[in-house]
Structure 1
Amino acid sequence: MTVDLGPRPLDGLRILDLTTVVMGPYASSILADMGADVIKLESPGGDILRQVGPSRSGEAGGMFLHANRGKRGIVLDLKSEEGRATALQLIADVDVLFYNLRPSAMERLGLSYEAVAAQNPAIIYVGAFGFGRDGRYADLPAYDDLIQGLAAIPALLAEAGDGTPRYVPVNIADRIVGLHAAIAILGAVHFRDRTGLGQRVDVPMFETMASMVLADHMAGLSYTPPLDAGGYRRLLTKERRPFRTADGHLCVVLYTDQHWRRFLEIAGRDDLTSDPRFVNHAARIKHADEIARELATILATRSTRAWQDVLGKADIPNAVMHTIESLMQDGHLEDVGFFIHSLHPSEGPVIEMAPPSRWSLSQPRASRPAPRLGEHTSEIAAELGNARREPNDVEHQPIRSF
């Protein structure tokens, strides 16, 4: 059973999704929430993300559920002639082919852009993979950790921390590149709608993450000759962290001159208002470590609640430091209906996250739960005029409850 609560922005757009794990499925889940008919094509063994994290049935962990909701699932073996032929039938009837294999692997499967465009000249052929195809890394494997390392993220964390390189404990490269891929698909769709022309679009992970990191940290290296060795000092100070209070932690950002004047008055440290390190934003950036240590000393004198009360009244930016568990109990998220309780056909009661954006006319939403392996193979085959049951098809009716 699917949910129909009115029009969504991408209703009518059809995407054949060959992606697996996090990056690609995350991107296509955003488009599915917007109304695109996303057909998730899996091999007979299924997307490996199904195996990540606990699952009631063993079929789909939480990350898989969140990254694949709203999609229809089909099983095909693209290495077989029959599977490839069925894929080409699907390709003839979709707007977008989205993949995250290396381009050389797509060529070996007989699904290069040239082969696909011969079947559907207007198709938008989008690949999200490790490295631009013209560079020396083009054929190398790519995973989130590898791209974080290449994009200097562990080195930045080492400089800002105890000297130990670390990865960000979020699949940050996969998700940021996934967002870029979703945007690229929408841009290519708009171009095709205006011109009638399909095209190939590559979204390489390394280049995308390098552009994100360097936008913050190129700094003086943006000039010829360089003005400094790069790096944004406010982000790299070892003291940039949630501050310890008398009974916990608090996140505080004192950014403007006005913020600082108000804070020093509240803290009874008017003596620092004339300190040259505090006089303006440029001086505070230059002395970021010292400034942060002074702030840490002051904040340790009162409880978290006491600081929130006075900082809130002064309109000084602050926030609690959540854990994963407390984040899921956040009152604001409850107010806006961020969490949705639903039923999955194999997993039972589950908690989903609503799309974070709010639209006045065409609100994105999940129309169905993440598919079981091969759940819609017969349905999609019938749409192709091929009503025979595929060998890996599974008969299940999805259940949805809000």
Structure 2
Amino acid sequence: MDEPTGPLKGIRVIDLTSVLFGPYATQILGDWGAEVVKVEPLSGDVWRYAGHFRNRGMSGQFMAVNRNKRSLALDLKHSGGKDVLRRMISRSDVLVTNVRPAALERLGFGYEGCQKTNPRLVYAVATGFGQNGPWAKRPAFDEIVQAASGLASSVGTDDEPTFVPSLIGDKVCGMMLAAAVSAALFRRERAGHGQLVEVPMLETVAAFNSIEMLGGHAFEPPIGPVGYKRMKERRPMRTKDGWLTMLPYSGDNWCDFFKAVGRPELIEELSVRDPVLLSANIDQIYARMSEIAPSRTTAEWEELLLELDVPHAAFTRLTALGEQPHLRAVDMFPDLDHPSEGRIRQARPSAMFSENPPGIYRAAPRLGEHSHEVLRELGYNDSEIAVLADCKAIAING
């Protein structure tokens, strides 16, 4: 494997997370160069078994959020397993966990105890609900948070809420957690000590959704209804031979568009020059566009809209995502050789750094693949490692 080159090179991260929210965050840190050790129970992260796989425990979904990590299989209820983790904490920069805080405290790895072991440690907790609120001890999953945050009501209606068909809460919160850890590391360089970082799902998704969806309730007292009208009205446009989304945005865009399609009278009828009136009339505007769109093929629309500099895109099927022209040109979905899983495909890191490019330098690990290697680095000799394996404090695979 290649060596990491990203801006977090040299930062050591203990990844005590499972499923999606936490592992996505720690993968981002790994993509950015951090050395990440994924500490798993002897049975493994349950996400290993979700979705399609060639070999049990190595699903595509697991590999998509666990590259650039090493796997250490550890029983944290065993005294030997606890000793290993304590030694890791003393030598690490970051601990990221989505184990419930009370459970981690009972195991002896709460924030205060870890801070005493290593005052420079950034201790990051991925929670469902903020620990200062009444729901602190509740379990949370993506659909729970979509429901409680108002997101499902925004996608559907108050009377008939609808889930976004994606684990959007986990992924948005994962990105927030990676950013929060990076900010805490920067602060540590200034202050000389670590701190507790918490990213709760409900609060994060509620804030994320509120940006446009508070609508008139962004004022007190409210000056209008909640929601953003354009979100309810926007729709795919059926062309003569497919589907296209197009979004004339500025007043000039709208004027150029309606002139080019031979409907200049709509400029005044729909008041597209005035952004306030345009917003108010957006339902009528989209209705007119739906009537106009079938007059041309998708390719003909793309040629015209490029000429007019009107934002647009043809729809890409999930099965053809790797062939989307821009994504193919930037090699967004490279084919990779996995040591045990053969040829795989996943998205490369999207954030770019001119001096410290991120990259994929280590394939997602098999459960316990690096247990022996990590323990040797921690100072355990082979006989000590064998004892830990025999008493099932650790598991070794490979």
Query: Which segments of structure 1 move beyond 3 Å, counting only runs of 4 or more?
Result: 392-396
Asked whether the equivalents of residues 17 and 38 of structure 1 are also in contact (C-alpha less than 8 Å), the reply is yes
SS of the residue aligned with 2:198? strand
Q: Alpha carbon RMSD of aligned pairs, Å?
A: 1.5
What residue is the counterpart of 2:122 in the other structure? Answer: 124
What residue is the counterpart of 1:173 in the other structure? Answer: 169
Asked whether the equivalents of residues 44 and 76 of structure 1 are also in contact (C-alpha less than 8 Å), the reply is yes
What residue is the counterpart of 1:93 in the other structure? Answer: 91
Asked whether the equivalents of residues 240 and 295 of structure 2 are also in contact (C-alpha less than 8 Å), the reply is yes
What residue is the counterpart of 1:260 in the other structure? Answer: 254
1:359-399 alpha-carbon deviations (Å, 9 max, x no partner): 32211001110111001111111111113244254353xxx
Asked whether the equivalents of residues 38 and 72 of structure 2 are also in contact (C-alpha less than 8 Å), the reply is yes
User: Which AA in structure 2 matches 1:314?
Assistant: L
1:52 positional shift: 1.2
One of 52, 68, 72 as aligned partner of 1:70:
68
1:202-225 alpha-carbon deviations (Å, 9 max, x no partner): 110000011111111122212222
1:69 positional shift: 0.4
The TM-score with structure 2 as length reference comes to: 0.95
Asked whether the equivalents of residues 277 and 291 of structure 1 are also in contact (C-alpha less than 8 Å), the reply is no
What residue is the counterpart of 1:46 in the other structure? Answer: 44
CA distance in 2, matches of 1:323, 1:273: 34
SS of the residue aligned with 2:365? coil
One of 91, 104, 107 as aligned partner of 1:106:
104
1:170 positional shift: 1.3
CA distance in 2, matches of 1:263, 1:326: 29
What residue is the counterpart of 1:318 in the other structure? Answer: 312
What residue is the counterpart of 1:251 in the other structure? Answer: 245
SS of the residue aligned with 2:283? helix
1:244-266 alpha-carbon deviations (Å, 9 max, x no partner): 11111101112110110111011
1:268-319 alpha-carbon deviations (Å, 9 max, x no partner): 0011111154342211211221111111111122211111111111111110
CA distance in 1, matches of 2:138, 2:346: 35
What residue is the counterpart of 2:333 in the other structure? Answer: 339
What residue is the counterpart of 2:372 in the other structure? Answer: 378
1:105 positional shift: 1.7
Asked whether the equivalents of residues 252 and 273 of structure 2 are also in contact (C-alpha less than 8 Å), the reply is no
One of 6, 10, 13 as aligned partner of 1:12:
10
CA distance in 2, matches of 1:340, 1:359: 19
One of 170, 173, 178 as aligned partner of 1:182:
178
Residue ranges of structure 1 left out of the alignment (5+ in a row)? 397-402
Q: How does 1:213-224 map to 2 (within 5 A)?
A: 213-224=209-220
1:339 positional shift: 2.3
Higher mean C-alpha displacement, 190-199 vs 384-393: 384-393
One of 269, 283, 295 as aligned partner of 1:289:
283
SS of the residue aligned with 1:250? strand
Higher mean C-alpha displacement, 217-226 vs 370-379: 217-226
SS of the residue aligned with 1:300? helix
CA distance in 2, matches of 1:248, 1:54: 30
The TM-score with structure 1 as length reference comes to: 0.94
What residue is the counterpart of 1:231 in the other structure? Answer: 227
Q: How does 1:125-164 map to 2 (within 5 A)?
A: 125-159=123-157, 164=160
**Identical counterparts, % of pairs:** 36
Asked whether the equivalents of residues 322 and 332 of structure 2 are also in contact (C-alpha less than 8 Å), the reply is no
What residue is the counterpart of 1:201 in the other structure? Answer: 197
What residue is the counterpart of 1:191 in the other structure? Answer: 187
Asked whether the equivalents of residues 154 and 213 of structure 2 are also in contact (C-alpha less than 8 Å), the reply is no
CA distance in 2, matches of 1:157, 1:352: 28
User: Which AA in structure 2 matches 1:176?
Assistant: V
CA distance in 2, matches of 1:231, 1:7: 43
What residue is the counterpart of 1:400 in the other structure? Answer: none
1:183 positional shift: 0.4
1:171 positional shift: 0.9
Asked whether the equivalents of residues 59 and 346 of structure 1 are also in contact (C-alpha less than 8 Å), the reply is no
The count of corresponding residues between Structure 1 and Structure 2 is 390
1:159 positional shift: 3.2
1:31 positional shift: 0.8
Higher mean C-alpha displacement, 354-363 vs 125-134: 354-363
What residue is the counterpart of 2:208 in the other structure? Answer: 212
Higher mean C-alpha displacement, 331-340 vs 13-22: 331-340
Asked whether the equivalents of residues 255 and 281 of structure 1 are also in contact (C-alpha less than 8 Å), the reply is no
Residue ranges of structure 2 left out of the alignment (5+ in a row)? none
Asked whether the equivalents of residues 56 and 346 of structure 1 are also in contact (C-alpha less than 8 Å), the reply is no
CA distance in 1, matches of 2:361, 2:5: 11
User: Which AA in structure 2 matches 1:335?
Assistant: A
1:182-213 alpha-carbon deviations (Å, 9 max, x no partner): 00000000011111011111110000011111
